[in-house]
Amino acid sequence: MKRTVLTALVAAAALAATGCGSMTAADCQLQSSANGPYALKFTQAGAITGAGCTTADTPDVFGDLWTFDPYDNGLIVAYPNSGPLPDPPNAADAVYGKGKFTAGFPDADQLCTVPALVNDAGGPMTIAPGVTYAPTNVVFLNTALYLGTTFKADVTYTNGACSRPYTVQAIIPAVACTTKEDCDPFAQPFSSGINSAYDTDCNQETWATDLMGGDGLCFFVGEFPGTGGWKPVQ
């Protein structure tokens, strides 16, 4: 089976968990492409709009993988892995959603917000003609422990003439699984790489197996922020 192991991420989380209480607060950050993509779960948050549109066009629940990278002057760039990247490279391509955190450090709820991700023309992330994502209220959980390894967002997904609003919950790393044991952050000799503060299990619903090519996905048991802590396998 496939497994993503991010030793560096686990080490960073362990260091944060054992650090002294006077340590400097972590700034607003996210996990870059060096750690792979985030796995996103899209859950419908409203009715489908568009004549003749059905859940075949905009499903009730589906998944995608998104990759993020930080750049100079606070710029954040994201792109859905479901869409082809321009060849040759073109930073102005509409597939890229760009934005910035509203503040340099987390708020009182340990959250950092990107108001919207838009392309250079101010429009949505475009993965194919007529197929777009319009993310707003992209909120990362950010402390020295969480390091932006999960976020939630509101996203309008458009497929041709059909559109629908969704809520999104995301996690990194995106770990394929067949059992809960595959998600264990303490497993030896190889851990899952998932933050042990998250309550995860091997999700084998259709949206997850479609996303992971037949395997399940290690994902949150509850809603964002999902910080109930790892529950040992019984």
Residue 186 lies in a domain: no
What CATH number is attached to the domain comprising 41?
2.40.128
Domain that holds residue 45: 22-174
Residue 219 lies in a domain: no
Residue 61 lies in a domain: yes
Mean pLDDT within 200-220: 98
Tokens of 70: 């930080």
29 touches 148 (CB < 8 A): yes
Residue 216 lies in a domain: no
Report the mean per-residue pLDDT for the chain.
90
When divided into structural domains, the chain yields a total of: 1
**Model-level pTM greater than 0.85?**
yes
Task: Look at residue 233 in the predicted model and tell me its pLDDT.
Answer: 84
Q: For residue range 60-97, what is the model confidence (pLDDT) as tens digits?
A: 999 999 999 999 999 999 999 998 999 998 999 999 99
Of the candidates 32, 44, 40, 38, the one whose C-alpha atom is nearest the C-alpha of residue 8 is 32
Residue 195 lies in a domain: no
State the burial class of residue 61 (Cβ atoms within 10 Å of its Cβ: 0-12, 13-18, 19+): middle
